[in-house]
Amino acid sequence: MANRNLLSWIEISKKALSHNIKSLAVLSGKSKLAVSVKANAYGHGLLEISGLLINHHEIEYLTVHSFEEAQAARLGGWPRKIMILGPVQANMLEALFDYDIEPVIFEKTTLRNLGSISKRLKKNIRTHLKLETGTNRQGITENELEDFVKIYKRYAYLKKPYGASTHFANIEDTTNHEYAEFQLKNFNRMIKKLASLQMKPTVRHTASSAALILFKKTHFDLVRPGIAMYGHWPSKETIATHLMQGGKNNLFKPLLSWKTRITQLKSVAADEFVGYGCTYRTTKKTRLAVLPVGYYDGYSRALSNHSYVLVGGKRAPLRGRVCMNLMMADVSEIKGVKLGDEVTLIGRSGRDSVSAEQLAGWSNSINYEILSRLGSHIPRIIV
Ligand SMILES: *Cc1c(COP(=O)(O)O)cnc(C)c1O
């Protein structure tokens, strides 16, 4: 195994990725797929995931947050479309033309600057308007639409918005979807207004994973799932609604496992403290495994004394605080543990498992945060 010399590594299952993409393709039907690889592909590794996606021709777009991510994906060999969901600094706008990268526009200065660059280069660019429908994050209000249309009309190379998009505020956090319906109504009204101004966008897109799974009428021409491709449900509410709609629980399989090794084994007497702050005290003679992983790597300090890892399919509870680069687990009850043994931090081991969702629950977070904060320094290995 290539990981024999590694102290901590992340395994990415190619087979699970294919399974999830098949599910996304079935769910999206005739709508095209734009999958999110922002935040280092939700912690899975931008280059590893975009590399695997090249051969999945059902994926038309990668969506990213920043220009730097878009550039990395392009230079890494991604041959199809790339959309930047977040802001682009003024000094990077010209590079969008060079790399054939599509920005999402929510700000007039950016569009004007793109217009003048397009004129100078005599080059077209595909842009997407972000419409404000009720999330009040990035987006153009209905009153501002005409100003944006004027800019499109002023620059021949901009032509019109290639895409028009919005993002829902409240699909994954609730089983009541009135607010999503309200946003959808706003979106449709703004699209109509654009059409009446001779600015009918070629592609309309609104659906993240939860909307893709639960709401067919949000699909339009293109869907933008992220977390589902990595095999995780956006929330408990999303899976509950899906099951209530008669859906199955087998759509998505997690791609990612996170592993480490035992780098020290020690016996500690009863009534001894473990770790910073003396937050744990042994009640009996205890065998501790020291693990070379800590909050720097993305194992939250909030999990101190609140989590378990798996050694040979058996649970070893964390004892004491998670340190910056180390943590301690109690292996007293596990037979035959040896120095160098593999330890599972996220994923399956034998007949047991520990999930990103469990870690999120124990640390007052969500699976998105657990995954996206896995340190980018940890090697990703495709299995
Ligand atoms: C991250 C993101 C998505 C994907 O969301 P998931 O919940 O991971 O499917 C879609 N659209 C926008 C604008 C995003 O920022």
For residues 374 and 21, what is the distance between their CA atoms, to the nearest angstrom? 23
pLDDT by position in tens, the chain (length 383) = 557 789 999 999 999 999 999 999 999 999 999 999 999 999 999 999 999 999 999 999 999 999 999 999 999 999 999 999 999 999 999 999 999 999 999 999 999 999 999 999 999 999 999 999 999 999 999 999 999 999 999 999 999 999 999 999 988 888 888 999 999 999 999 999 999 999 999 999 999 999 999 999 999 999 999 999 999 999 999 999 999 999 999 999 999 999 999 999 999 999 999 999 999 999 999 999 999 999 999 999 999 999 999 999 999 999 999 999 999 999 999 999 999 999 999 999 999 999 999 999 999 999 999 999 999 999 999 99
What are the residue ranges of CATH 3.20.20.10 in the chain? 31-244
Atom of ligand 1 nearest to the CA of 36: 4
* Locus of tokens 């639409």: 145
Residue 10, beta-bridge partner list: 258, 380
For residues 241 and 83, what is the distance between their CA atoms, to the nearest angstrom? 30
Distance 198 CA to ligand 1 centre (A): 29
Distance 36 CA to ligand 1 centre (A): 7
Atom of ligand 1 nearest to the CA of 165: 13
Residue 273, beta-bridge partner list: 281
- What six digits make up the tokens of 265? 């084994």
For residues 145 and 148, what is the distance between their CA atoms, to the nearest angstrom? 5
Return the CATH fold of 31-244. TIM Barrel (3.20.20)
Return the CATH fold of 256-382. Lyase, Ornithine Decarboxylase; Chain A, domain 1 (2.40.37)
Q: Model pTM?
A: 0.97
What are the residue ranges of CATH 2.40.37.10 in the chain? 256-382
- CB count within 10 Å of CB 244 equals 10
- What six digits make up the tokens of 327? 């943590």
- Smallest CA-to-CA distance from 8 within 264, 294, 274, 255 is with 294
What is the enclosing helix (H) or strand (E) of 288? Answer: strand 286-291
CB-based pocket (< 6 A), ligand 1 = 36, 38, 85, 167, 208-209, 224-228, 234
